A and B are shown apart, each in its own frame.
Chain A
Amino acid sequence: MSRLDDYKGQTPAWCPGCGNFSILKTFKDTVVELGLEPHQFTIVSGIGQAAKFPHYLKCNTFNGLHGRTLPVATGIRLANHEMPVFAVAGDGDCYGEGGNHLIHTMRKNPNIKLFVHDNQVYGLTKGQASPTTQEGTVTKNLPFGVFSEQLNPMALAVALDCSFVARSFSGDQDHLKSMVKAAIDHKGFCLVDILQPCVSFNKINTHEWYKQRVYHLEPEYDPTDRVKAFERSLQWGDRIPIGIIYRNSRLSLEERIPIIHDMPLVKQSPDINKLGDLLKEFY
């Protein structure tokens, strides 16, 4: 069994009061509760404040490039699908730079759990707009305000029939924990969008702002009804639902690849005897 101590990583370089701290703490608590040990899973991340996450706990880590988290995670899963793979990204990282990868990873459906720290702003590069920034927000580099429509990751995911679509809030640790657990239990690609206040740069979507708006999806809500889910995914503003918005039971990418049915790729050792056949077709 693992203990919280086993997960002690570097000291975070986040601003005091940042929503990332509670996500980190909740994640650690959850994996300890689940009995996962640091060497038993891998976290892949890109670049940004959120993406530094794996350094602040102990586990297998591939901290790659801005926006490229999901392709790396997919490669790891396909090479070793017995290893749980988590992906951690910021909203800029995942919905901006990595938008194309997100779309296609949802389509491919590898069994990866993606946690997006959605602070609706670029933190690490000091406060530029992200795809989830509210339209009209003025930033240093956008003096006339954001012209683009605010991206709705939940609606996008439901539209693409993403296998598991959930939202949580860093200020509600119990809820977040339940979402992390549900994602880990789910087989297939999971998008968990975590509303996370950035105390330094996002003066609109503050902790208080969220507190007044987020509500838990009612217990009788049926996340397998895609049309209803789409309706809920559109809800934003005065009331913001958190919980599992949508889920389905599509086959995962790994399950569809016959070559790795019986054994993960990484365990398949080369068979020198087979190589003799390789040149036959050229005679």
Chain B
Amino acid sequence: MDYSIRIGGEAGQGIQTVGDTLSRVFARTGYHVFTHQDYESRIRGGHNFYQIRVADRPLSAARSRLDILVAFDLASMDNDAAFVAEQGRIIYDSAVLKQKFDGPTFRDVPFTALAVEHGGSRIMANTVAIGAVLGLLGMEMDILLRIISDTFQKKGEEVIKANISAAAAGYDFAVKDCGGCSFSMAARAEQKLLIAGIDAIGVGAVASDCKFYAAYPMTPSTGIMNYLAGKAQQYGIVVEQAEDEIAAINMALGASYAGVRAMTASSGGGFALMVEGLSLAAMTETPIVIGLGQRPGPATGFPTRTEQGELQFALYTAHGEFPRIIFAPGDPEQAMNLTNKAFDLSEKYQVPAFVIFDTYLADTQWTHAGLDLDKLVYTDYRLRADALNGLSEYKRHAYTDTGVSPMAVPGESRHVVVTDSDEHDEDGHIVEDAETRKKMVGKRLLKKMPLIQKEIEPPFFYGDAVADIVLVGWGSTYGVIKEAVYELSDRQKIAMLHFSQIFPFPGRDAFDYLALLGNAKKAICIEQNATGQFARLMRAETGFEFAAWINRYDGRPFTVEELVGELHVQIG
């Protein structure tokens, strides 16, 4: 089984609640789930959808073909109905849409009337719809009932009861109405964890002991701020909404200098303002983790849509030469792990580290069998009171073999901690002489780079070990490329290479990925941008030139069918 369910409607109609609840029911029942959303930059009206794919095998992308469409508005009929499979169903409430639709796919379910009759209020129309979907699918109601009880616990027994009746009404109506339905859900397995990319970044930050987060709201990075604010009390995190992105990064640097792990995040437009601070982090060797949530630009672009247009921006932005670390996770599990690695390496080497994502990864929810927090690392690399008191002398920017100077926490001993955005000596004081400048560049940049490079893992490989066709991607296209390889593997010798640890560019000692590419008949670089930013980086770092590209830059992510379609054009 492999079903796709789309809930379409206007902003403000609660399609998010319906989608979230259904996907939680599926994940708790033990199915594999993948969800994504499509929404406009407005709070009410317009046309949005929430799409859930549920299956009995691991999923990592959305499909175009729909099995169930819940249509809360007429635009769903115009835009989405065409994707519904012949055996599929479109459920809608003719009283709300003020129109009747004929044909075996259409099912008129009186969401509102049932809500009023069984729940006592029209607000519960969404609950009726949730029940109806479960009824169509022939699933049991027990998990939904538990979720309803948990959700409305604070609102009291009455509300819980009313919602349960509303859900049951929708369920019963659909069961009776769905005589010819062909849906069947396979046996249950163990319940799964369902998490969105943005929350996984948040989990990674909390688990890495991020104690300070400053940011200014901007889609799609705002979710990190919301997540961490929700954890502030329990985990001791100060979350500060700064007056602008310039302030945000400078506050985070102040907190980091003072001795705590700090992070900021924004999208391209906000990050543009942070660029000056990025350079400051580099010169003062202050650790910082920067989340960069890409959305289509330039300028304000498509505020709620997706693109991988800022790799080159993250790579080359800011003045002067300095080392930086760039990770671009492909799924929530990588997002959590790489956020942790960003915190670790940023502090270990005292350099800025990026976690680049995009709207698509931020919003998509994935099921994982579980996430392993035990694999995360935590080492405090700072010199605190005990270590410091033993030193007769301390210099914040002392020359060392590794280029990494001991980083003291100010106020913890009699030693003072001095740093400067100007070129400085080992003590941190302003200098003008050529000799010190040369030594400092050697320390900050040249010595550290090769050490950081050694920490970078090779790209992820999946598919045929002697592949004719190799698909290459980075960041959030991981899932859809993987599914395309899976889909084409019975006809082609095909494989994928996915880069999530992007800079410093991975070495080839552990895995000679260039040999793999060299031996293939065709290597295709797939990116969600117009200019092939990763392909250019790859050529600059390795000399490898792609002969073929697939670039999408309309603000929408690839579905499996769409990518496979593009691949057919390229490989026949």
Contact = CB atoms under 8 A, between A and B. Distances in A.
Contact of A65 (B250, B416, B430): B250
Interface string A266-283: 101010101111110011
A64 B250 contact: yes
A39 B416 CA distance: 5
Chain A, interface size category, equals 35 or more
Nearest to B231: A278
A237 interface: no
B415 A39 contact: yes
A3 interface: no
Interface of A is mostly: helix
B258 interface: yes
Nearest to A257: B238
Interface stretch (A78-86, A179-187, A202-210): A78-86
Nearest to B384: A266
Chain B, interface size category, equals 35 or more
B284 A62 contact: yes
A35 interface: no
Nearest to B257: A62
A48 to B, nearest CB: 12
A65 B429 CA distance: 15
B209 A266 contact: no
Contacts of A47: 421
B482 to A, nearest CB: 22
Interface string A158-196: 000000000000000000000000000000000000000
A58 B416 contact: yes
A10 B413 CA distance: 22
B421 A65 contact: yes
Given A75-B253, A275-B373, A259 B421 contact: no
A24 interface: no
Interface in A212-233: none
Give the residue among B194, B251, B409, B415 with the most A Cβ atoms within 10 A.
B251
A78 B420 contact: no
Contacts of B415: 39
B284 A61 contact: no
Contacts of B418: 54-55, 60-61, 63
A38 B247 contact: no
Interface string B219-257: 000000000000111111110101110111011111111
Given A59-B416, A278-B373, A40 B411 contact: yes
Nearest to A100: B243
Nearest to B204: A278
Given A42-B411, A61-B428, A266-B409, A79 B209 contact: no
A18 interface: no
B374 to A, nearest CB: 9
A42 B251 contact: no
A44 B373 contact: no
B212 interface: yes
B280 interface: yes
A247 interface: no
A63 B258 contact: no
Contact of A71 (B199, B250, B259): B250
Given A64-B421, A83-B258, A268-B211, A78 B240 contact: yes
B142 to A, nearest CB: 16
Interface string A77-95: 1111011000000000000
B408 to A, nearest CB: 9
21 contacts: A9-B429, A10-B429, A39-B416, A54-B418, A59-B416, A60-B416, A60-B418, A64-B250, A71-B247, A76-B258, A79-B255, A80-B411, A83-B258, A83-B410, A101-B247, A258-B233, A265-B236, A266-B260, A272-B378, A274-B234, A283-B27
* A-B pairs, 4 with minimum CB distance: A75-B254, A71-B250, A79-B258, A104-B243
Given A61-B418, A74-B240, A272-B378, 4 more contacts: A10-B430, A64-B253, A79-B258, A265-B211
Interface of A: 9-10, 37-40, 42, 44, 47, 52, 54-55, 58-65, 68, 70-80, 82-83, 100-101, 103-104, 257-260, 265-266, 268, 270, 272, 274-279, 282-283
Interface of B: 27-28, 191-195, 199, 203, 206-207, 209, 211-212, 214, 231-238, 240, 242-244, 246-248, 250-260, 262, 276-277, 280, 284, 370-371, 373, 378, 409-411, 413-422, 428-430
